[in-house]
Chain A
């Protein structure tokens, strides 16, 4: 058990640790985000009794460790120190539809311990199951929780620690948004990536650009303009359209990205914008919304604009490949 719990020191994976009281929704989140389980089906999930580790290969290799809520992890059988030292982010899940005072006490206890062992850790608090709360009540709940956690940390004398809060639900895109931000913090190359995306946006009049992980719909990077949830949803669902349509006629067996031409999908919208998707390396796809004004689809300008985008995106892909060749050795 112990060996299973503690990541191999040679393992270069960025590690996320999911914690929270029992029935707060840890397994559901894991299944919905990383295994594409339908949100409604999470009702049938059994309670998790053992710590589980799962590995995902995306832009960065990611390990997600889930600690069951009923586990008393201060028992001496577990080597927490080693565990907490190796993780990049602690994700603590609070059920907002339940009495959360116990959860807050539990959280501050964990934070005070973890801070001693690993002060560089990112602490991310998901205020979960907000789908059951009314719009006003959500913000009140968030404010209350932030206030209480802040006070607790102050009492413990841990003022410097960065704690981020997210309102999430597995029934909409908020959980993906939260995980996108959590994972982005673990990507060492993020500033360089964002810089590249900003350049693309600047040269090609993109309104918004996301670098998506195709399987989980998490975006590992985006340009520096603010994220509008509708645009995000449209882009994420555009990936589904592309994959589903391609899957109907394509041969799924040889879906090796190194072979053949990369998947590319362009959809013109009535308001003159274009949804643009281009397959990248390591199961990623670049998806963006670009505005190409007053051109009809047969005109030369439209085609030229698209060719220019294609060219620039290929340059981007090349630099992404180079970046990864150098960073992981």
Chain B
């Protein structure tokens, strides 16, 4: 059976940068509006999240007020072996920067000190930085600002030999899902198995696209498109995040009638989209091209065929999950 691997993820950043807001949106199904009622995080808020079958995300949401941050850093330097040292055994650091921050130097100084501690206690940590609240910046200046900030931060990280991965995010659009999706994917050890099996399925189905989503967060785990005719270039490059966003919103709206959804089958203009549960932890979305035929009966056959295929693929992916 699976060995339950715990991954410790530190979520840090200055006060008010949006750490708890993004955590609530991704993991607790909050809407961007709901985050208004969140208060300041005191000390550290732990949450354990089961992710896929064999992974537990141990998320440490660290309060961002200066008192707390000083406290974390001091504990770590004064008694490095105490259990209160939050920098031990980390797998991922997620540092959030507010792009509208008034005290950029202070932000960077804290980032530097956090990196220094991590370098000492968990040298193999993966470092992600999020430049958050991007919606406040004019659209045409976003890329430039992101590049400047990112280069700056990378320079700071260089002495500690950390390779940064950065994202520009906002809770008001789908950019947050893209960032979290790649953070999560970097933690899944057997991600390549998912990819391989997905390609195999598509050899049979010849779908335009197949995407796997984690069930609770609806983050994209893996995707594949058709090998032969790749006409997917013209599709929206942000479509994965958009789907995550759409489905999360849908989840909230069916919550109002006190239930949750199981499947969506959409027969659209040019495509048919099937969204269903694949395993206990994964949803699968299959996008098929519509064959233009006026015969209704064959359409129903196709639909049943795909639903059956999903059923068969279930056992395959349950095996992958338990590796």
Q: Do the two chains belong together in a single complex?
A: yes
Q: Which residues in A have some Cβ–Cβ distance to B below 8 Å? A: 230-231, 233-234, 237-238, 240-242, 244-246, 248-251, 254-255, 260-261, 263-271, 273, 275, 289, 297-298, 303, 307, 310
Which residue of the partner chain A has the closest CB to B307? A298
Task: Flag if B253 contacts A268 (CB, 8 Å).
Answer: no
B74 adjacent to chain A (CB < 8 Å): no
The A-contacting residues of B in range 198-220, CB under 8 angstroms, are: 208-209
Per-position binary interface string of chain B over residues 117-141, scored 1 when its CB falls under 8 Å from any chain A CB and 0 otherwise: 0000000000000000000000000
Q: How far is the CB of B306 from chain A (nearest CB, A)?
A: 12
A252, chain B: closest CB distance, angstroms: 8
Determine the residue in chain A with the shortest Cβ distance to B269: A250
Question: Chain B contact residues: over half helix, strand or loop, or mixed?
Answer: mixed
B32 CB to nearest A CB, Å: 12
Q: Is the CB of B265 within 8 A of A246?
A: no
A85 to chain B, nearest CB (A): 43
Q: Flag if B267 contacts A234 (CB, 8 Å).
A: no
From residue B256, how far is it (CB to closest CB) to chain A in Å? 5
Q: Which of B38-46, B80-88, B100-108, B241-249 contacts A (4 or more CB under 8 A)?
A: B241-249
Whether the pair A263, B257 counts as a contact (CB closer than 8 A) is no
- Residues of B within 8 Å of A303, CB to CB, are 300, 304
Decide yes or no whether B258 CB sits under 8 A from chain A: yes
Check B270 against A251 for contact (C-beta < 8 Å): yes
- In the complex, what residue of chain A is closest to B262 when comparing beta carbons? A268
Q: Which residues of B contact A237 (CB under 8 A)?
A: 249-250, 253
Closest Cβ of chain A to B162, distance in Å, is 36
| A-B interface, 7 closest residue pairs, ranked by CB to CB distance from nearest | A246-B268, A237-B253, A271-B259, A250-B269, A249-B271, A265-B266, A268-B262
Q: Which A residues are in CB contact (< 8 Å) with B249?
A: 237, 240-241
Are A248 and B242 neighbours in the complex by a CB distance under 8 Å? yes
A267 to B285, CA, bound (A): 13
Task: List residues 284-300 of chain B with CB under 8 A from any CB of chain A.
Answer: 287, 290, 292, 296, 299-300
Q: List A contacts of B323 (CB < 8 A).
A: none
Q: How near does chain A come to B262, taking the closest CB pair, in angstroms?
A: 4
B293 and chain A: residue at smallest CB distance: A261
Complexed CA–CA distance, A289 and B253 (Å): 13
Cross-interface CB contact of A249 among B246, B260, B263, B268, cutoff 8 Å: B268
Q: Is the CB of A297 within 8 A of B262?
A: yes
Closest to B264 in A: A267
Bound-complex Cα distance A9 to B217 (A): 56
Residue in B269, B270, B271 whose Cβ sees the most chain A Cβ within 10 Å: B269
Check if B253 sits within 8 Å of A246, measured CB to CB: no
Q: Quote the shortest CB–CB distance from B80 to chain A (angstroms).
A: 48
26 interchain pairs, CB-CB under 8 A: A231-B257, A234-B254, A234-B257, A238-B253, A240-B249, A241-B250, A241-B253, A244-B246, A245-B273, A246-B266, A246-B269, A248-B239, A248-B243, A249-B287, A254-B269, A260-B269, A263-B267, A263-B268, A264-B267, A265-B264, A267-B265, A268-B261, A269-B259, A270-B259, A289-B257, A298-B307
Minimum C-beta distance from B169 to chain A (A): 20
Q: Is B233 an interface residue (CB 8 A)?
A: no
- Given the known interface contacts A238-B253, A298-B307, the answer about A251 and B269 at a Cβ–Cβ threshold of 8 Å is yes
Measured between beta carbons, the chain B residues less than 8 angstroms from A273 are 257, 259
Q: Which residues of B contact A240 (CB under 8 A)?
A: 246, 249
User: Which residues of the other chain, B, contact A244 by a CB distance below 8 angstroms?
Assistant: 242, 246
Q: Which residues of A contact B259 (CB under 8 A)?
A: 269-271, 273
Please give 17 more A-B residue pairs, beta carbons under 8 A apart, in addition to A267-B261, A269-B257.
Answer: A237-B250, A240-B249, A245-B246, A246-B266, A246-B273, A248-B235, A248-B242, A249-B208, A249-B268, A251-B270, A260-B290, A260-B292, A261-B299, A263-B266, A264-B266, A269-B260, A269-B261
Complex CA gap A244/B248 in Å reads: 13
User: CA–CA, A83 to B271, complex, Å?
Assistant: 47
Residues on B with beta carbons closer than 8 Å to the beta carbon of A264: 266-267
What residue in chain A is nearest B276 (Cβ atoms)? A297
For residue B144, CB closer than 8 A to chain A, the reply is: no
Q: How far is the CB of B278 from chain A (nearest CB, A)?
A: 13
- Establish whether residues B264 and A297, one from each chain, have CB atoms under 8 Å apart when the complex forms: no
